[in-house]
Amino acid sequence: MTHTPHSFDNNGKRIGIFVIAYNAESHITQTLDRIPEAIWDAITVVYVVDDCSTDETTGKALEYGKHPDKLVVIRNRVNRRYGGNQKFGYQWAIDQNLDVVVMLHADGQYAPEMLPQMLAPMVNDEADVVIGSRMMEKQNALKGGMPKYKFVGNIVLTRIESALTGLKLSEYHSGYRAYSSAMLKRILFWENADEWHFDTQILLQCYVAGARIKEIPIPTYYGDEICHVNGIAYGLNCILTAFGFWLFKRGIYYSRKYDINQKGQRYFDKFDDPYSSHTLVWKKLQQEGISGGKVLELGVGDASLTRRLKDAGAVVDGVEVDPLYVELARPYCRQIFSGDLNDVRSLGLEGEYDIIVAADVLEHLIDPEQVLAQLKAYIKKGGLLIVSLPNIANIYIRLSLLAGRFRYHTKGILDRTHLHFYTIDTARLMLRKTGWIVERGEVTAIPFAVVFPFLGKMPFRLLLSLFYGFTRMFKGLMAYQSVWYCRNPNRHELL
């Protein structure tokens, strides 16, 4: 039996209990009665959102005579469905400046008596999301009347979802949830489905956003409430959602709902792919004989190239605006200039460099042509400039446009920080226009080895080799990036 406390300390938090309701006429009064008095005293509001029920759910809620100063009843004009009703309910919590919101089902399937346990981690700032799990103590789920097919289905679905997403939970399918409003403001819950798998999508959004997710065991109760879920459709949607998230994490599939800005590292080592821009650039640098040479690297990123240059005996200076990457590169640089690359002259660069590397940089700048022209003042005559740029004419982008899509991402060709787009021909033209002699250009293939690391190992490298050969045959269509090797002309050379 659940212990009901005589008082509950909200720690100054504004708490809302969101009672999600549909055709709950026979249960709504009892569910509200079961909310502990200590919780009624501690919260700011209980708000019932009736999703356009066909019975008297709204009327029963309005007739509830207890705590009239803390009860709000809202009826949707149209049926928003389970996910759509949650979207409305969470937005209402944000608009009312609540700090914490708990979703409680009006049919009483999830015990209101557990609200103190659900809220405790939230008001004590120990969690951003709390899930009431019926499967932490599995034997109690069956004792509570959970049908065996739902019991088995819950376990199987949760294991599949955990394996695909990396978020390990005892249960993905509980509708007893508490969220901090701060977390709800960070995620794009309006992008989610209106159906029942909204619950899976919002969990994955919180996971991507770095939420502290805590599960607590709750009792299971199945009574005479009517289940409105189509179990087969729900299960398939959950698996498809988890698989879509798996693809998203690997950069194969873009989904706006999971594109959540986080503080942290956005760019990573590309050297596992034998045909990536970093690999091709490094091969060229080795051919140049860089030991003792002075190299300027624009945009050091994760410092994987910077480290290789230092280990090979080069004297490396770096330019980087992000403090995280500045610190990553500092051990490998003679000096690192932290400033706006849009204004090269303001960086304080010293002397003439033998080589300048601008890998995956120019597309982020306001006026890349001006920057390319200014860089000639900082490189020796005959010095080497290496540039890599994404190919907007890649087949993936073409097919997306054919389907009417042009969706930005956190990285890749449609990185949302890209200000300019290039084809292979327009990239070459820009370099020539700014006074550089283009010695040679090559292309990279779609980075399958980054998405699927096992492809970088034998014998799978043969597949990558074949695909790279195909890419070189159809450069304009298949190239992911173009890589250019240019020289600063001597006075006697014609452009």
What digits encode the pLDDT tens for the residues 111-158? 999 999 999 999 999 999 999 998 888 777 777 777 787 888 889 999
In sequence order, what are the beta bridge partners of 100?
A: 15, 180
What is the reported pLDDT for 437? 96
User: Alpha-carbon distance 97 to 64, whole Å?
Assistant: 25
Say if strands 100-105 and 177-180 run parallel, antiparallel, or are unpaired.
antiparallel
* Residue 450 pLDDT level (bands cut at 50, 70, 90): low
User: Alpha-carbon distance 377 to 379, whole Å?
Assistant: 6
| Interval 371-387 mean pLDDT | 94
Query: Which residue did the predictor score with more confidence, 448 or 359?
Result: 359
What is the reported pLDDT for 227? 58
Residue 263 has pLDDT above 60, yes or no: no
Q: Look at 30-34, 176-180, 346-350 and tell me which has the smallest mean pLDDT.
A: 346-350
What is the reported pLDDT for 269? 61
Q: Which residue has the tokens 């109690």?
A: 140
% the chain with pLDDT above 90: 68
Tokens of 339: 């400033």
% the chain with pLDDT above 70: 92
What digits encode the pLDDT tens for the residues 63-116? 998 999 999 999 999 999 999 999 999 999 999 999 999 999 999 889 999 999
What digits encode the pLDDT tens for the residues 213-243? 999 999 887 665 555 666 789 899 999 999 9
Query: Which residue did the predictor score with more confidence, 216 or 4?
Result: 216
| Interval 400-425 mean pLDDT | 89
What is the reported pLDDT for 30? 95
Core vs surface per residue 162-198: b (16+ CB within 10 A) or e: eebbebebbbbbbbbbbbbbebbebbbbeebbebbbb
What is the reported pLDDT for 78? 95
What is the reported pLDDT for 213? 96
What is the reported pLDDT for 395? 94
Query: Which residue did the predictor score with more confidence, 170 or 275?
Result: 170
User: Alpha-carbon distance 52 to 50, whole Å?
Assistant: 6
What is the reported pLDDT for 461? 74
Go through the domains of the chain in sequence order and give each one's CATH number.
15-258 (3.90.550.10), 277-487 (3.40.50.150)
DSSP annotation of 227 reads P
| Interval 413-437 mean pLDDT | 94
What is the reported pLDDT for 495? 45
* Residue 370 pLDDT level (bands cut at 50, 70, 90): very high
Q: Which residue has the tokens 């995280």?
A: 324
DSSP codes of every residue in 416-478:
TT----B-HHHHHHHHHHTT-EEEEEEEE---HHHHSGGGGSTTTHHHHHHHHHHHHHTHHHH
What digits encode the pLDDT tens for the residues 21-34? 999 999 999 999 99
Residue 249 has pLDDT above 90, yes or no: no
| Interval 462-469 mean pLDDT | 86
